[in-house]
Amino acid sequence: MLAKDRTPVATIAILFTAVALVLGLGSGLAQVASEKTPILISLDVKQMDLQDLLRLIAEKANVNIIAGSGVTGSVTLRLKNVDLWQALETVLRTSGFAYREEDGVIRVVKAEELGEVQPPLLVTEIILLEFTEAENAKKAFEHLLSASGTMQADSTSNALIVTDVPEDIENIKKRVTELEEVTKGKVEKEEIGIETLQKDIEDMKKRMAQLEEEAVEKEELLPPERFQLKHLNVEEEKDTLTDVLSNMIGEDGKFFLDSLANSVYVEAPASILERVKEYLEGTDVPPKRIMIRAEFVEVRVEDVTQFGINWRWKGAYDGYPLGSTFRYPYYARPEPGREVVPTPLRAPLSTLAGGLGIIFGSVEQELRGLIDLLLSEDKASLLSSPSIVTLDGEEARIHVGDRIPYLVKSWKGGELFETTLFLDLGTTLLVTPQVK
């Protein structure tokens, strides 16, 4: 049976040594942090080039900043009485960059590049063993250490002294717990021999190898990737982007919508990142531009009848003469299966003066040939042919007419004031195109 006695003095000494190792690793970083003198600055910029913003910060704070050609992007922010180092970190992190201070010079680099040059953060923990000897446990778990990790076996306290990154230490502690459970029953009955322990160690190695293979099968997350959108507005399409990306990524990753920089940050496996990239590239496209053209034609009915044509309305109101006015919409071509029943009029139909008729609806090519014929024979007059360019789904306004000025008189404080206003007279068309 293994000894259960523990020596407090020895444990304290070991802990002190471990803390000293950690402090030794972080002394360089602490020295840099202590040398940073608080400098308060205020900034208010909109869509400013990142290089220009860094130059502005350097001038206002009287510091030296070096940024390579790879440091690009635009920034919009408002900071008031913020520490220089906090402001610099906020500006660079938003654009995917970071900084490193060397000999009084601030060097701006990519965030992943800074991650490569920073040493890993190491911690030290003492793992006490109850049923397994420390030397045997060291042989079983030493291969789980990272390249920067170390492991020592203390036979006096029967403990493992492990120095490594936190993730690897947690993994080793989990394996030690499993080994302790395996050997617990045997220790209660008899002293474990070397051969039996070696077999248990081999079994544990096989089990750990199996678990590691299963972990490799699960696709690892890649570092966050930033997608800069050029045409799609993140703020306006926030709900749509959230729904699509949530369904696409699920629980395999995470994303962040940056309305300020009009960007999308995604942290997910490579296969999902590729799908997100394809979706955003297909969505972030320039909006379609549509040209709308209208023709206003004046035709006299008597000129039309000279061609042997009785010009009537085509569609739901067949039989009414040209120039009739209605109190309900006119459908040139009812949709299939759609029955149009005219509502009885409360008053007789009236005919527009001069024989000018206006058709509401889509007549496509029904009148095109006749209009061209009348125009060629000087039997019709083209009053106006305005056109306008708009975007898909955006309402366009076409106005043909005049703006008539008129005076509005008002009294204020015993004085007469005259104001000139304008009234739009003519025809206005409101069109909202939709491209399918």
DSSP state of 417: E
Instruction: Give the side-chain half-sphere CA count within 13 A for 344.
Output: 1
Average per-residue pLDDT for the chain? 73
Interacting residues of 73 by C-beta distance below 8 A, sequence separation 6+: 49, 50, 95, 96, 228, 261
Q: Which pLDDT value is given to residue 3?
A: 43
Which pLDDT belongs to residue 17?
34
pLDDT at 114: 65
Question: Over 50: is that where the pLDDT of 173 sits?
Answer: yes
What is the average pLDDT across 219-226?
78
The residue behind tokens 């030690």 is 176
Q: Once rounded to an integer, what is the mean pLDDT over residues 386-391?
A: 85
The pLDDT of residue 227: 92
Report the pLDDT value the prediction gives residue 353, as an integer from 0 to 100: 33
Higher pLDDT among residues 79 and 23, named by residue: 79
By mean pLDDT, which of 184-188, 192-196, 261-265 is the weakest? Answer: 192-196
Q: Looking at domain 8-25+120-217, which CATH architecture does it have?
A: 2-Layer Sandwich (3.30)
Among 291, 335, 334, 295, smallest CA distance to 433 is for: 291
Query: Is it the case that residue 72 has pLDDT exceeding 60?
Result: yes
Answer yes or no: is pLDDT of 264 > 90. Answer: yes
Q: Which helix (H) or strand (E) holds 168?
A: helix 166-189
DSSP assignments along 344-389, one per residue:
PPSS---B-GGG-----S--TTTTHHHHHHHHHTTSEEEEE--EEE
Fold of 225-286: Ribosomal Protein S8; Chain: A, domain 1 (3.30.1370)
pLDDT in tens, 85-132: 777 877 887 777 888 887 778 888 887 776 544 455 678 899 999 888
Q: What residue spans of 268-332 are helical by DSSP H?
A: 270-283, 301-305
Is the model's pLDDT at 311 over the cut of 70?
no
- Whether 422 and 401 have beta carbons less than 8 Å apart is answered as no
Rounded mean pLDDT, 142-157: 88
Rounded to an integer, what distance in angstroms lies between the CA atom of residue 127 and that of residue 171?
12
pLDDT at 193: 59
The answer on pLDDT for 294 being more than 90 is no
CA distance 126 to 7: 13
Please give the Cα distance from 159 to 154 (Å, whole number): 5
CATH number belonging to the domain at 36-117, selected among 3.40.50.300, 3.40.50.10420, 3.10.20.30, 3.55.50.30: 3.55.50.30
| Residue bearing the bigger pLDDT, 33 or 301 | 301
> What's the rounded mean pLDDT across residues 250-265?
89
What single-letter amino acid sits at 366? E
Q: How large is the average pLDDT for residues 383-394?
A: 82
Please give the sequence-ordered ranges of beta strands (E in DSSP) within 174-248, or none if there are none: 225-228
CA–CA gap between residue 230 and residue 423 (Å, rounded) = 40
Q: Residue 215's pLDDT is what?
A: 56
What does the pLDDT read at residue 252?
Answer: 81
Which residues of the chain does CATH 3.55.50.30 include? 36-117
Q: What's the length of the chain? A: 436
Contact present, 229 and 264 (Cβ < 8 Å): yes
Take residue 432 and report the two structure tokens written for it: 């909202």
Where do runs of H (alpha helix) occur along 35-165? 50-61, 84-94, 111-117, 134-141
SS3 for 95? Answer: coil
User: Whole-angstrom Cα distance, residue 337 to residue 27?
Assistant: 82
Residue 279 pLDDT class (50, 70, 90 cuts): very high
7, pLDDT greater than 50? no
Confidence (pLDDT) at 176: 92
Q: Which part of the chain is CATH 3.30.1370.120?
A: 8-25+120-217, 225-286
Q: Is the per-residue pLDDT at 175 higher than 80? A: yes
Q: Is a pLDDT exceeding 60 seen at residue 346? A: no
CB neighbour list of residue 218: distance below 8 Å, 6 or more residues apart: none
